[in-house]
Chains A and B, each alone.
Chain A
């Protein structure tokens, strides 16, 4: 144990050192170059960018079929994804893998900003680029993908025009927004570390299955990534950026005596290795989780029916805002011929009430921290070469804006720097950065709990519910009864909400706390959600109607100690 601790500390020290070196280096010559007018020198020194610029120039000036218009816009995006992943189960490593790919996406647009070929197959072509910096090998893949993208764009424009002829479109919006070219060359990210101490952390956590014979499984995993992005377009943008992401998770499964499957997981994600938990902290979080599974197993089922107040922890609250606000402020353009503003629940809510008047929501990718705590959703320039901007989405409960990229929606003709792309080579589209929910009437935790109890008393309810965290699809994972008589908390299991939706969010959310939780999520587009605890005056809580599995037919093998 002590050697392991030493190793981890050493590793941490090394990581800190490399961060320091990295900082020094990035503040030094290359950074200076990038920020001066001399970005061209840095771009020329980068073989990937150079190959992209050479092929772009060639395509811009020469790519043309006789009976087809020349492209009015071309862009190349390369995502260099270097990653290491490992998994452990039952105390031993079952898999570890280091892999690196350079993914290319080429978009060629024919037509004009008003109406172009960005439709179906015309949304771009993809290829894999060599990892070596050989100019010819790099350019060959760009050349083939560009040719394909131009030809499919031509076919897509025709298909789009013939489809449009059969439709009446009331309020046409442009297909593509104009944007200022951006030049920015940031330092590259590198993945350089010794996996052994980290793998040992995974093995140690997953060894916890030995502490509880009823733990069906206890698995841990990690993924460390260095992602470098390269972007050029025919408008003159040249962008390079590099980020690292470090993620560690564990998940435990058990079964209650009645067969109900129980699962809990926990994840850590950070942009630097030093922000990851120490071996001790990781193990202790895993022990907590194993303990909570044991408690869940012994917890009683929720009552079949409940309608009344429910209090959500800041953690649970971030899940609600991610699903019910975050998803709905994304300004996806509806498909051809549909007249809505967007494709989601807030399509017709512009300038309408979507939240109670004491709540406001912004998305700000330009900040790296919230009250000194790191945010994952920080970026300078989005995946369409547009500078990130702070967007005020909901002001005192009223929806005032949407997050969009360069695909305009009705009343929003230009990008607000939220066009981001999933790894490896998906098209860019509206995405969250740092979604931050704030209250103009913050209340202390005591006040929130007291309010819950008061409401219950008013309605002669013996208890109210408190949700600490969610599993998938807004199904509570840790949920407690708060008893009116003495305020004590009782863990229960098997709950589902009947009506936790945008309507109840607008009408039944009556108070918010002065606390907050930061949920950092990777999900291929790194982003953060910040929210306080929230109280609903009325929600329906039902018993989950899930099928119950049998307990294992025979006992697990005995473990050696």
Chain B
């Protein structure tokens, strides 16, 4: 509920909550037959099913998911290591459905009643694992059966809902096993070295007040088994480097830059020279932003870089294409009744393809083989030639979409919902990227505006999809330039907020660039933090509305920073 209105930053920094463990699962290749964890899960699930089927009400579906997660996190600031933590956990989720697929305990607001979570033994101790699963299962039965009786009563006292789809989709069982280790666990010294090295760059820039470097390496192995007779074993790996730096403008406005690099393994990250160059650019951007004028409210032509457009589409479009948002009685349902209608300009198409592992040589963060409901990931054409065709579906059906398309995703401990994986926007009306600037100038002249805006980078934002909130969105542009028509150089401005309603803005794309940019990030919503990717070409909008951002009035620090050698710094020796 409240989750829906909370910020959903693509560029989530310091994601410590998500993090967990450091060793790998042992090097000997396992198979389904030698997988002790899987066989314990299956045995204990069978025993639970047999025992609970004698009760009234009896569950009609039970699944066990175990996420074996190893994570290492190093945090640095000003060249010093703030912390290194390495953990390994085995998160177990027991999911139970009572009633029938048509109506069960997950109905409407009681979705969380279907899941109970705990932590399992780290080694394959059959007795320990079986006991913990038993404990979680009978606790879950109590929760689910109570919720089911509430759901049944609710049905009696409320009028029929608009969407009468069942609560759970019927799917054909299939199993899958992939026992690969996707990436070796990075060693502690190299992570610590990166945290120290990249955070030390900011020492050269005394005007940067706050800075931090977080590097997180996480490997996950998913074990899933359900009473439908399927099981899934699938790997996941992510390494994420987030660099954050902030300063204050003279008027007290806080200015922030964040750069993230995300890949499957350490050696897929860009070379150090490239990261160093981006850090240098962060520093120079911040210096320029400090001196930049505050943006004025503006309504006119704007050009979004590929990365900015990708974030924009993730927030403004992607979240509204998530299946479960089409049936919630509290959801705004922007697109629910627009299937087979034009929702974007005809030259734009959107797919969400979790099966695509790389794009333009970059690892895509939203890659996975099986989703968190044990369904195979599939490429979904959500919008074809501007026409809405499909939604991102978990196993919660909606009118006319009875099946999952492998987008049921969650972090351990939360019920999966339809989520984005790799959202890719493509265009058939393109010009060379180099020509887009001129197109912007032409449009500005045509509209008789004094200037247009170029959004070089957008930091993510939040989007409200609930009915009780205005159907608006807000993203946080961090690098915005005024582009003049008279040949003056572009002028950086600060304190810009984009405002507007989604349907209107999306139809104002005039033309796009010819090269697709990728933005990898962590996305948070009801079902938790998950890695995603968004990709789009640069886009020219006929009109984007911006407002001044509300900002704090903080004075810059009184004393010169300790690393500022240009000013007198007495008191070196007490």
Binding site for B on A (CB under 8 A): 53-59, 61-65, 89-95, 97-102, 128-132, 134, 136-144, 146-147, 150-151, 209-210, 216-217, 550, 552-557, 559-560
- Given contacts A58-B569, A64-B558, A554-B138, 13 further A-B pairs with CB under 8 A are A54-B572, A57-B574, A58-B570, A59-B559, A65-B558, A94-B89, A99-B85, A131-B83, A132-B79, A132-B80, A147-B558, A555-B51, A559-B127
Q: How far is the CA of A92 from the CA of B357 in the complex (A)?
A: 37
Tell me which of B90, B561, B570 contacts A140 (CB under 8 A): B561
Counting residue pairs across A and B whose Cβ atoms lie within 8 Å, the total is: 159
Question: A54 to B121, Cβ gap below 8 A?
Answer: no
Q: How far is the CA of A61 from the CA of B574 in the complex (A)?
A: 12
Q: Is B210 an interface residue (CB 8 A)?
A: yes
Chain B proximity of A145: nearest CB distance (Å): 11
Q: Is B161 an interface residue (CB 8 A)?
A: no
Chain B positions within 8 Å of A217 at CB level: 135
Q: Is the interface of A mostly helix, strand, loop or mixed?
A: mixed
Chain A proximity of B66: nearest CB distance (Å): 12
B530-574 with Cβ < 8 A to chain A = 555, 557-559, 561-563, 569-574
Which residue in chain B gives the minimum CB-CB distance to A216? B135
Q: How far is the CA of A553 from the CA of B85 in the complex (A)?
A: 39
B135-161 with Cβ < 8 A to chain A = 135, 138, 141-142
Q: A134-B80, A136-B203, A147-B559 are in contact. Are A554 and B48 (CB under 8 A)?
A: yes
Question: B558 to A94, Cβ gap below 8 A?
Answer: no
Question: A58 to B122, Cβ gap below 8 A?
Answer: no
Question: B209 to A144, Cβ gap below 8 A?
Answer: yes
Q: Is B196 an interface residue (CB 8 A)?
A: yes
Chain A positions within 8 Å of B119 at CB level: 89, 94-95
Question: B127 to A553, Cβ gap below 8 A?
Answer: no
Q: Is B467 an interface residue (CB 8 A)?
A: no
Chain A proximity of B238: nearest CB distance (Å): 20
Tell me which of B79, B87, B569, B570 contacts A134 (CB under 8 A): B79
Q: Is B527 an interface residue (CB 8 A)?
A: no
Q: Is B81 an interface residue (CB 8 A)?
A: yes
Chain B proximity of A237: nearest CB distance (Å): 13
Q: How far is the CA of A151 from the CA of B83 in the complex (A)?
A: 28
Q: How far is the CA of A205 from the CA of B76 in the complex (A)?
A: 39
Binding site for A on B (CB under 8 A): 44, 47-48, 51-52, 55, 76-87, 89-90, 119-123, 125-132, 134-135, 138, 141-142, 196, 203, 209-210, 555, 557-559, 561-563, 569-574
Question: B555 to A151, Cβ gap below 8 A?
Answer: yes
Q: A56-B574, A90-B121 are in contact. Are A143 and B561 (CB under 8 A)?
A: yes
Q: A63-B559, A137-B78, A147-B559 are in contact. Are A557 and B47 (CB under 8 A)?
A: yes
Tell me which of B52, B81, B572, B573 contacts A554 (CB under 8 A): B52
Tell me which of B135, B558, B573 contacts A54 (CB under 8 A): B573
Chain A proximity of B523: nearest CB distance (Å): 27
Chain A proximity of B121: nearest CB distance (Å): 3
Question: A550 to B561, Cβ gap below 8 A?
Answer: no
Chain A proximity of B210: nearest CB distance (Å): 7
Closest 5 CB pairs of A and B: A130-B80, A137-B80, A92-B121, A554-B51, A92-B128
Chain B positions within 8 Å of A97 at CB level: 85, 87
Question: B562 to A92, Cβ gap below 8 A?
Answer: no
Question: A90 to B559, Cβ gap below 8 A?
Answer: no
Chain A positions within 8 Å of B573 at CB level: 54
Tell me which of A57, A98, A130, A556 contacts B81 (CB under 8 A): A130
Chain A proximity of B441: nearest CB distance (Å): 43
Question: B82 to A55, Cβ gap below 8 A?
Answer: no
Chain B positions within 8 Å of A134 at CB level: 78-80
Question: B571 to A209, Cβ gap below 8 A?
Answer: no
Chain B positions within 8 Å of A128 at CB level: 77, 82-83
Chain B positions within 8 Å of A59 at CB level: 559
Q: A95-B119, A557-B44 are in contact. Are A137 and B559 (CB under 8 A)?
A: no
**Interface centre among A59, A140, A142, A210, by most B CB within 10 Å?**
A140
Question: B126 to A138, Cβ gap below 8 A?
Answer: no
Which residue in chain B gives the minimum CB-CB distance to A43? B574
Question: A557 to B77, Cβ gap below 8 A?
Answer: no
Contact sample, A vs B, 14 pairs, CB 8 Å cutoff: A54-B562, A62-B571, A90-B128, A90-B132, A92-B128, A94-B122, A97-B87, A100-B84, A129-B82, A140-B563, A141-B78, A151-B555, A553-B51, A553-B52
Q: A144-B210, A217-B135, A554-B51 are in contact. Are A55 and B562 (CB under 8 A)?
A: yes
Chain A positions within 8 Å of B562 at CB level: 54-55, 136, 139-140, 142-143
Question: B561 to A90, Cβ gap below 8 A?
Answer: no
Chain A positions within 8 Å of B90 at CB level: 94
Question: B203 to A550, Cβ gap below 8 A?
Answer: no
Question: B141 to A553, Cβ gap below 8 A?
Answer: yes
Chain B proximity of A365: nearest CB distance (Å): 29
Which residue in chain B gives the minimum CB-CB distance to A550? B142
Chain B positions within 8 Å of A151 at CB level: 555
Chain B proximity of A129: nearest CB distance (Å): 7
Tell me which of A131, A146, A550 contacts B82 (CB under 8 A): A131
Question: B559 to A136, Cβ gap below 8 A?
Answer: no
Chain B proximity of A512: nearest CB distance (Å): 44
Chain B positions within 8 Å of A98 at CB level: 85-86
Chain B positions within 8 Å of A102 at CB level: 82
Chain B positions within 8 Å of A100 at CB level: 83-84
Chain A proximity of B310: nearest CB distance (Å): 33
Q: How far is the CA of A338 from the CA of B561 in the complex (A)?
A: 42
Q: How far is the CA of A53 from the CA of B134 in the complex (A)?
A: 57
Chain B positions within 8 Å of A54 at CB level: 562, 571-574
Chain B proximity of A74: nearest CB distance (Å): 12
Q: How far is the CA of A128 from the CA of B569 in the complex (A)?
A: 23
Q: A93-B121, A144-B210 are in contact. Are A560 and B127 (CB under 8 A)?
A: yes
Chain A positions within 8 Å of B132 at CB level: 89-90
Chain A positions within 8 Å of B128 at CB level: 89-92
Q: How far is the CA of A57 from the CA of B87 in the complex (A)?
A: 40
Which residue in chain B gives the minimum CB-CB distance to A554? B51
Chain A positions within 8 Å of B55 at CB level: 553
Q: How far is the CA of A143 from the CA of B558 in the complex (A)?
A: 10
Chain A positions within 8 Å of B196 at CB level: 132
Tell me which of A90, A143, A216 contacts B127 (CB under 8 A): A90
Q: How far is the CA of A142 from the CA of B135 in the complex (A)?
A: 48
Chain B proximity of A39: nearest CB distance (Å): 13
Q: A55-B562, A137-B80, A560-B127 are in contact. Are A92 and B122 (CB under 8 A)?
A: yes
Chain A positions within 8 Å of B123 at CB level: 92-93
Q: A57-B574, A130-B77 are in contact. Are A557 and B83 (CB under 8 A)?
A: no
Question: B78 to A130, Cβ gap below 8 A?
Answer: yes
Chain A positions within 8 Å of B82 at CB level: 101-102, 128-131
Chain A proximity of B313: nearest CB distance (Å): 36
Chain B positions within 8 Å of A554 at CB level: 47-48, 51-52, 134, 138
Chain B positions within 8 Å of A53 at CB level: 574
**Interface centre among A56, A91, A151, A554, by most B CB within 10 Å?**
A554
Question: B44 to A137, Cβ gap below 8 A?
Answer: no
Q: How far is the CA of A555 from the CA of B44 in the complex (A)?
A: 12
Question: B135 to A560, Cβ gap below 8 A?
Answer: no
Question: B131 to A90, Cβ gap below 8 A?
Answer: yes
Tell me which of A63, A94, A143, A553 contacts B138 (CB under 8 A): A553
Chain A proximity of B201: nearest CB distance (Å): 13
Tell me which of B81, B85, B558, B561 contacts A132 (CB under 8 A): B81
Chain A proximity of B105: nearest CB distance (Å): 16
Q: A138-B80, A147-B559, A553-B52 are in contact. Are A57 and B571 (CB under 8 A)?
A: yes
Q: A89-B132, A92-B128, A559-B127 are in contact. Are A58 and B559 (CB under 8 A)?
A: yes
Chain A proximity of B213: nearest CB distance (Å): 12
Question: A141 to B77, Cβ gap below 8 A?
Answer: yes
Chain B positions within 8 Å of A63 at CB level: 558-559
Chain B proximity of A416: nearest CB distance (Å): 29
Chain B proximity of A45: nearest CB distance (Å): 13
Question: B79 to A94, Cβ gap below 8 A?
Answer: no
Chain B positions within 8 Å of A136 at CB level: 78-79, 203, 562-563
